[in-house]
Structure 1
Amino acid sequence: MDRNQVQNAIVGVVASVLAFGALWIKILKTRKEIASHPRVNQDYERENYINSILYSGDRHCINMIRMRPIAFFNLCDILSRNNLLQSTKSVNIREQVVIFLHIIGHNVRFRVIGSRYYRSTETIHRYFRVVLRAILKLYKLVIRLPDELTPSEIRNIPRFYPYFKDCIRALHGTHVRASVPFNIQERFRKRKWGTTQNVLAAITFDLKFFYVLAGWEGSAHDSRILSDALSRPRGLRIPEGKYYLADAGYGIRNSCITPYRGVRYHLKEFSDQGPENAKELFNLRHSSLRITIERVFGILKKQFRLLDAEPFWNFQTQVDIVLACCIIYNHIMGVDPSDLLNYGLYEEPESDLIIATLTVREEREEEREWSAKRDEIAQTMWTDYMARSIR
């Protein structure tokens, strides 16, 4: 190889090295731009998306986070004022609550929410837990014991008053899908429903929860769950002389009146023919009074789709989520900027009261007592009903 060829070869190598170096510098610069540019856009896009939820009208806000903006900002204010949530350097209270409501409202997985809000799955998971704990601490504030007066929903309707004048609330239960370890699945299996947790709630006639007991296995009988609720030191309480309406599954017992068994009950059963005796009339009106109560869990499950889906948390979190949904539901039902914000969290004194388990004989005596009361109500209804029919 002569001298010119050597020089040309060297020049070619140098040119190739320089070209490769220039290309590599360009690639590094481009990668740097790609890596740094989205961070600015992420913050902007996230804020823009949250604003679109909260400021694009009531209907859009309800569709996305299941409440109007006024209820949302009220909830954030309550959580902030009671020091239950704090903004952090990267995630403010508003974003924390929006993300939580988005998840329970639509049953969206953490990784999906993370990509939509430009957050890591770990961040979404962490703040979901933070908000869940904060919401649970609102139980005493939002799920409050009502007064003992006859509800206006009874007092103002002649079909119900004075017959149900001592009825102040109603009991209702539902099954929520549950995911539990294989070795205890049989206890949680509810026939065709699969594994569920059985939830008991006491509900006022203006459709608010005032007591919720979640976590019982799906196979547990309603009457057993009610006994547990009544036996807890800070459990369900029924004022003396008053009673709750309940379905037949709870069984007639002290301060709990159920319909007559083996007698027409559901409203549709009376569509072609009216009541023919006192028991049928009682069941018809019992059903009419409870029908609105039965809607509450249906509303709750439609509002929070997560309750009707296969859970992906541990069981205690599944129980906590049911309670949180009931708390948020009550907040939405009763929201009033000049009302709720005036109440702080309060601690009720611990009670040492423990309700003793009744003997079989005492239970039978209670059944006879409240069966007699039901008979008395039914007969009075029937007498008045027949008198009006004659006129």
Structure 2
Amino acid sequence: MDRRAFRKLCDMISTHGKLRELSNVGIDEMVASFLNILAHDENDGVVGRQLDSCSDSSSSGSYSGVMHFNAVLCAVLRLHDILCKKPEPIRENCSDENWKWFKNCLGALDRAYIQVTVPVEDWPRYRTRSNEIATTVLGVCSHDMQFIYVLAGWEGSAADYRVLRNAISRKNGLKVPKGYYYLCNAYYNNCEGFLAPYRGQQYNSNYWRQDRQPTTPQEFFNMKHSSARNVIERAFDLLKGRWRILGSRISRSSYSIEIQVRIILACSLLHNHIIREMPVDSQVSIPFSNISEGQELEGDHITDLESSDAWNEWRDNLARETFDHWRASRHES
């Protein structure tokens, strides 16, 4: 994070996050220490003792580093409405080769596992298929890798479908207006609002980088779907790479699971801030100067995740139209 982005973050945390100086420690110093712990996983042993309340910490004490950490953590979470990306649909005039085929698409979603520390008796619920003790994190991001929605806290054994169903049913959960959709992988149903690839067809984007060309609408659809949906995988990789605390279960061993979940959410908000405020993110070497802010989309929201013949037919029509358009453009060139 450069100086300008840091300065703006401190201003937001002070103004909107309601952070106040504690123990004669300035806001800049508190925020810098907080970011250092998240980014470098540097824990002085004091910060490891959590304070589970997000109440106003200014009346709570004097000298504890844990109090400073939790005060900043709670302040960052208060920036949720500011730092969360508003959905921005792909328009007719989109020229991005990955996204122009998916008009009205809002982005992509996937789940990731982040290791956590929980009591031994909870291990069976948090154990993943790869035998890790982790929480399932549902991430939804825009085409520019900003997180639109993050749901953390579900046990690692939870099915992807169950987590997504919970996300769209929450009062402040994932809202998908009818007529719009997100790209998802084949673990989810192909249903209204969530466009999945064709099962049983080649999907891995690396396959198409070896001078192979799709020969059917289904293959072409999967190729383009994979290239676009890869944005959520890159966002998760960048999130974990930037904030080393997310990759160290040991360093968070003294935090309650509630605090560990809050840390994940705070990291995703800070991820958005960095992408939004820095013209070029040095970790990925991709210019973000053309990022625009989305807006609240109106309309009835999708509440069902059941596959339907109508949605499958819509996907088939989309696959044929895009495949025909691609073949015609190749012949013209």
Aligned to 2:186: 248
Question: What is aligned with 2:287?
Answer: none
- Of residues 160, 163, 166 in structure 1, which corresponds to 2:104? 166
Residue in structure 2 matching 1:298, options 237, 249, 256: 237
Q: What SS does structure 2 have at the residue aligned with 1:111?
A: coil
- Indicate which of 316, 322, 335 corresponds to 2:264: 322
Tell whether 2:308 aligns with 1:308: no
> Secondary structure at 1:375's aligned position in 2?
helix
1:87 aligns with 2:21: yes
After TM superposition, give the deviation of residue 273 of structure 1 in Å. 2.2
CA distance in 2: counterparts of 1:197 and 1:112, whole angstroms: 25
Q: Distance in 1 between matches of 2:324 and 2:145?
A: 31
C-alpha change, 1:269 and 1:142, in structure 2 (3 Å) is: same
Residue 286 (structure 2) aligns with: none
Q: Indicate the larger mover: 313-322 or 287-296.
A: 287-296
1:135 aligns with 2:69: no
- Residue in 2 that maps onto 1:72: 6
Judged with a 3 Å threshold, the aligned counterparts in structure 2 of structure 1 residues 160 and 111 are, in CA distance, closer, same or farther, namely closer
1:110: how far off?
Answer: 2.4
The offset of 1:389, in angstroms, is 4.5
1:111 corresponds to: 45
CA contact (8 A) 1:232 1:355 kept: no
SS at match of 1:288: helix
Which has the larger share of helix? 1
1:225 and 2:156 correspond: no
Kept in 1, the 8 Å contact 2:141–2:147? The answer is: yes
2:311 corresponds in structure 1 to 370
How far apart in 1 are the matches of 2:66 and 2:222? Answer: 48
Between the aligned partners of 2:129 and 2:98, the Cα distance in structure 1 is 37
Kindly tell me the number of residue pairs found equivalent between the two proteins.
294
**Hey, what does 2:328 align to over in structure 1?**
387
- Taking structure 2 as the reference length, the TM-score comes to 0.81
Contact 2:37 2:245 in 1 (8 A): yes
How does 1:5-84 map onto structure 2 within 5 Å?
67-82=1-16, 84=18
| TM-aligned CA distance change 1:98 to 1:160, over 3 Å | closer
Distance in 2 between the 1:285 and 1:376 partners? 15
Letter in 2 for 1:134: A
Mapped pair 1:333 → 2:267: no
Cα distance 1:155–1:255, how it changes in 2: closer, same or farther (>3 A)? same
Contact 2:149–2:174 under 8 Å retained in 1: yes
CA contact (8 A) 1:145 1:210 kept: yes
1:232–1:354 Cα contact (<8 Å) kept = no
CA distance in 1, matches of 2:326, 2:304: 40
- Counterpart CA distance in 1 for 2:173 and 2:76 is 20
Greater relative CO (CA pairs within 8 A, separation 6+): 2
8 Å CA contact 2:108, 2:142 repeated in 1: yes
Cα separation, 2, equivalents of 1:88 and 1:108: 21
Corresponding position of 1:157: 96
Kindly, what percent of the aligned residue pairs are identical?
A: 35
Give me the TM-score of the superposition, normalised by structure 1: 0.70
- Structure 2 distance, partners of 1:133, 1:317, is 10
Q: How big is each residue's C-alpha offset from its partner over 1:172-206, in whole Å with a ceiling of 9 and x where there is no partner?
A: 22110011111121111113351110111211111
Partner Cα distance (1:193, 1:107) in 2: 24
Q: Is the 8 A contact 1:208 1:330 kept in 2?
A: yes
CA distance in 2, matches of 1:108, 1:214: 23
The answer to whether the 8 Å contact 2:135/2:155 transfers is: yes
8 Å Cα contact 1:142-1:327 kept in structure 2:
yes
2:117 paired residue number: 179
CA-CA distance at 1:145 after TM superposition: 2.1
Letter in 1 for 2:4: I
**Structure 1 unaligned runs (5+)?**
1-66, 115-121, 337-347
Query: Does the Cα contact within 8 Å between 1:255 and 1:370 map onto a contact in 2?
Result: no
1:157 deviates by 3.2
Change (3 A) 1:79 1:276: same
Contact preservation (8 Å) 2:87, 2:106: no
C-alpha contact 1:143 1:211 (8 A) present in aligned 2 = yes
